[in-house]
Amino acid sequence: MVTIKDVAAHAGVAFKTVSRVVNNDPTVKPANRDKVLASIEELGYRPNRAAQMTRRKKSGVIGFIADELLRVPYTFDLIRGAQDLAWKNNKELMVLNVNVDKYSVEGAINHLLGHRVEGIIYAAMYHREVTLPEQLTPVPTVLANCFDPSKRFASIVPDEKEAAREITAKMLNKGYRRIVFLNLNENIIAGQQRKAGAEQAFAEHKGKNCELHIESVIIGEEGNERSVTRQRAAELIENFKPDAILCGQDPMAVEVYFVAQSLGLKVGENIGIGSFDDWDIIPTLLQPSLTTMALPHYDMGQWAINYLLNERTDIVSQTAKFNLINRDSF
């Protein structure tokens, strides 16, 4: 490849002058700058990043460990949010996709340490707690969509409770009175906190004749979950007679749409349906399109990058607000 000295020879200047042009040093005489720029163009010169890094002693790289992230489509927005802001600040994002069997977290960290990353974002597939190895100590680290129970790292997670409160309140305000919340597994944080949020909305509403039924329809221990959504949705429609159903995630809503149709109910007319996630194309694939609380993955990715760029060291536990995407299902 062509080096800085090749360019210098071609342009008839010292290689230090080429370096100045490349780094936008304003003290270069315009005539020389033009000569150098022309030579760079003609030779197709690009500064060797590895050489720049070794001399500068700064890598300009931020590491992103994606823990099983990429099995769920919308989680990619975490990376997108981080990447967009990183580039704006002339930083690179080095993304490592980690999964238990293939590439251990320790391996990923060692890898990033070898690149002298200036910070690490660790992001999880779903909102949960994580315990990271001690190795991380030398590098500023921030957690996204997960948190450290021992408070060694700052973190940002979705505000599950407020999301459930908001969409439940919206249902109540629209006049729905008998709401079934088909919740996620209550073993996970989202399931626990959303339950509290839905209950809070009912407590605040104080409407008469309002009733809320909450039930987990993703059951079983981690790694062995199964959905009883269809069965329970059908039974609850029969027995509880809800006028609205709130689903723990958009795929669940697909199942509920099928159940509703099979029972002769029209979504958005005889029964309102709401959900969480804004999962890929599912919400607009459904008819009527699904009103859902979109997970704030993009925002969390941006917040995490900003935390590192601003060289913060405070151990905050930040929450990010979901975005209500209004469509036609309630």
Partner DNA sequence: CTGAAAGCGCTTACAG
- Contact status, residue 18 vs residue 36, Cβ threshold 8 Å: yes
Residue 247 to residue 255: CA distance in whole angstroms: 10
Q: Which does 44 bind (CB under 5 to 8 A by kind): a copy of itself, DNA, none?
A: a copy of itself
Distance CA 293, CA 281 (A): 14
CA distance 54 to 200: 55
In the bound state with DNA, the residue whose beta carbon lies nearer, of 23 and 262, is: 23
Peptide bond into 242 cis (omega under 30): no
What secondary structure letter does DSSP report for 265?
P
Which one of a copy of itself, DNA, none interacts with residue 16, CB within 5 to 8 A by kind? DNA
Are the C-beta atoms of residues 301 and 64 closer than 8 Å to each other?
Answer: no
8 A C-beta contact, residue 216 and residue 191: yes
Rounded to 5°, the CA angle 204-207-211 comes to: 90
Q: Locate 181 and state its tokens.
A: 């919340």
Whether 285 contacts 62, CB under 8 Å: no
Which does residue 285 touch among DNA, a copy of itself, none (CB within 5 to 8 A, set by kind)? a copy of itself
Scan residues 28-47 and list those touching DNA (CB under 7 A). Answer: 28-32, 45, 47
Q: Which is nearer to DNA, 24 or 131 (CB)?
A: 24
Q: Which does 193 bind (CB under 5 to 8 A by kind): DNA, a copy of itself, none?
A: none
Pick one of 24, 27, 50, 223: the residue that binds a copy of itself (CB under 8 A): 50
**Which two tokens mark 322?**
């979901």
Does 56 contact DNA by CB under 7 A? yes
Report in angstroms how near the CB of residue 286 gets to a copy of itself at its nearest: 8
Side-chain half-sphere exposure of 217, counting CA atoms within 13 A: 26
Which of a copy of itself, DNA, none does 19 bind, CB closer than 5 to 8 A by kind? DNA
Q: How far is the CB of 103 from a copy of itself (least distance, A)?
A: 7
Asked if residue 114 binds a copy of itself (CB under 8 A), the reply is yes
Is 54 near DNA (CB under 7 A)? yes
How many amino acids of this chain bind DNA (CB under 7 A)? 30
Nearer to a copy of itself, 23 or 261 (CB): 261
Name which of a copy of itself, DNA, none residue 13 binds, using a CB cut-off of 5 to 8 Å depending on partner kind: DNA
CA distance 244 to 252: 14
Which of 10, 20, 195, 297 forms a contact with DNA (CB under 7 A)? 20
Residue 97 binds which entry of a copy of itself, DNA, none, CB below 5-8 Å type-dependent: a copy of itself
- Rounded to an integer, what distance in angstroms lies between the CA atom of residue 17 and that of residue 271? 72
Q: How far apart are CA 214 and CA 195, in angstroms?
A: 7
321: left (phi over 0), alpha (psi -120 to 50) or beta: beta
Looking at 2-10, 69-77, 133-141, 302-310, which segment touches DNA (CB under 7 A)?
Answer: 2-10
Binding site for a copy of itself (CB under 8 A): 1, 44, 46-51, 53-54, 59, 70, 73, 76, 79-80, 83-84, 87, 94-95, 97, 102-103, 110, 113-116, 135, 138, 230, 251, 254-255, 257-258, 261-262, 280-281, 285, 287
